Structure 1
Amino acid sequence: MKLAILVGTLAELAGVGLTATATWLIMRAAEHPPMQALTVAIVAVRTLALAKGALRYLERLTSHKAVLSEAVELRGRVYDDLAHREHVPSGTALTRIVTNVDQHLNTRLRATLPWLTVALVGATAVAFSGFSLPLVAGLLINLALLPWLAIRNPRDLTPLRARLTDQTTELVHSKEELIAYGLFDEKLAAATKTAKELSRGERTRDLTPLAIAVQFATAIALLAQHEPGWLIMAAVATFEITIPLAALTMPRPEPTGEPAPAITHNAPELHGRTAIVGPSGAGKTTLLNAIAHDLEPSRGALADAHVFHTTVRTNVLLAKPDATQQELDRAAGITELDLNWDQVVGERGEEISGGQRQRLILTRTVLARPEVLLMDEPTEGLDPLQADRVLAKVLDDHGGPALVVTHRTEQLALFEHVHHRRPIGDDHVRRVG
């Protein structure tokens, strides 16, 4: 990181020097001096322009390398800590831990590094100007006051972004279901409202106009003191690199404790096969998560839908690390998984199709053999005929209590009970057949 700070400072100084030298060259050229009097300035302008570009590239290279090295070390420490815990946090808590690690690294790259670079460049500019009072005052405002205002009482927009992401995903992936239940326009209006609220929040906390006002006020003050034009332009160039400081944010770490379980009204009993159906927004997934939270870890949990950037074999073995090849082949046969065990699936399974990803997750579930099976749209993305066939085989192999969220009415014949969820909470259970 020290090398990145040094290179970044040199790059910004090259930019300030380029502006000052170019301004002096223009002013001097207006006097029509001999060409020899301008030769040094011309060479300096070209040299500084090339140096700025090269140093900027090197700064990006060294800063990202430093942060990535720190990421490896920090994530390794987090993994070691989790590996030695007797109780493994839930998926929600793990997601928050990952978010906090990413926020820490992003702060190092987007906040700490720029601030230190600007501080060093500003100190150099102040010393070179003979400690000009307007320049000192302006830099103190931009280096201290603006970041303080930005992080003093920030409005956390993360919940709004998360809500907008969820609403957008629901509109895209559940469009047919929403239209069928007459909820599409309502959900679209809610997403539009969230987007507008997020846009207002982004605008109200942007201090860039104040930073620009400080920059021009300083330039006017220098002009009033009859400072030379090249010095005024150099000061303006110095302030240009302080403007991003107005957008600094210090996100608060997310709590990593276990969230309180949701209240489960009229939850179905854990016996036999039960399908949970209802319109989008009726709380089907919330109900499933709440039931999973109440279960003892040894009895089972909600089927994990995350796919890691590794081989199919490693992804499936997460459910049972000591499984034999025979057990793997048996589970794959039930879910009709048609992937090579050594194939790498890519980030979040991007190297395989959506249906293959779903069957990989189901294969992991079959291999785990939990006492209670909880699944949320387990066959989404599969061909309808294959979806019904695979779900039937998974349920037959499981044999025990199973709760499955599904929107396919054709699959209800596979279940002994159907638990209906309504947005207004008038849930009821009926027996099939």
Structure 2
Amino acid sequence: MVNTDKDIVNLKSLILHIDSPFISISQSSNNNTDEIYTKVTATIRDIHGKPLGEKKIFISDSSNSNLKKIKIYESNNRTEITTVSEKNYEGFFVKADKQGNVLFFIHPIKSENLILKLFSQILGDTKPIPADHAIYIVDHTLDEIPEKYPEPEILNFIEGDLISDGESKFLVRIPEYDNVQDGDYILFIVNNKYTGNVIQISGKNYLSKFFPLPYDIFDKEKEKEKEKEKEKEKDHFSYFSYIVIRALGDITKYKSRPLTLTYKGNQQNQPWADVIRIYDTCQVYSSYGIFPDSIVYDTVDDNTISQYKKTNDIAGLFVQITGTNDPNDSTKVALGSEVTLNLYINSKTGVIYWSHTLIMPYAAGNAGKNVELTFPIPHDLLKDRESYEDRSSMIYFDYQVGKDTDLNVTYGNIWQATIDTDIYS
């Protein structure tokens, strides 16, 4: 039987997404691990973005013995999956549902240190594809580990406010800690939660280097509390630390002291300046609707957003992003992708950042290959955005597939224009 394009699996869709890559078991648990687990998911698609239902996926680990130390359960988290041996690999099979969704659960059997590095493949059709994260199972909770190691060091930062100057990443270095060993894993922690970011010690002078980490691991939101009928902003503190796990999975007796900081965000309030952008720029339309004469090129004014009351979404603008089922076209988003649109406005009367996430349709339009995903932009975000006294106010759009913290996040090119709107527009 000859495979058609519709049968060819998109290898990226085989990447297993680990919901909780750090599993800690309290010393007081008495090996009761029934309620301690991580969810693992994927959606299998063909190279055109269409879900492939009922495919059998073979899951293995980098070490054959590791799977004997865990229990695997089906999507109901009750029916246990047994391991099998295939081509000298220990593993287990999981069947995708009719929509291509894969779901299973991993439970530790007991309080035992372990590192799982899962791979997925369709036997006979694809190579093994690594999961997005390793799973670290440790026999202490973070609260049970005493602080001793020195704080992480951020380049050009001592204490107080951490501010991005337009770049998506900062640089961090780990000082020497007790008994550094080649192969040690350094897991970065923010507010007592593993961020998903890790480095592995390789070589004698490895700790003398600085490593990039995404600013997005920090909480940049602000709580608002009312005081005397005025809103007062209260900053969130981030407590940035690390733990050390040996190459064979044992967690060390100590963790680092936390570095306390307040992340103030991107002071430029513009799309990231240091990321690679592969997708086409989005198309922006006025509130009059989506047609060629409504395209906005370089100016957003009162007239541009004036027809919002006639739109179903009370939208002052519409933004369209193109998706494709063509596996050879990397300038457009793959069908079925989760797309996040980002809006930035810098004006005399307000600085705005807003984002919204939608799913690119799974099927192409009548033309065959491409489809448009439309984001209505709320009118309230766009009105009363006056120009500065000495310069124009600016509006920007960009978009991304994935989060800033994801290793494989991809970005669209930047759309920008001037904006000058009245409060009554």
Q: TM-score, normalised by structure 1?
A: 0.21
Higher strand share: 2
Q: TM-score, normalised by structure 2?
A: 0.21
Q: Rg bigger for which structure?
A: 1
Higher helix share: 1
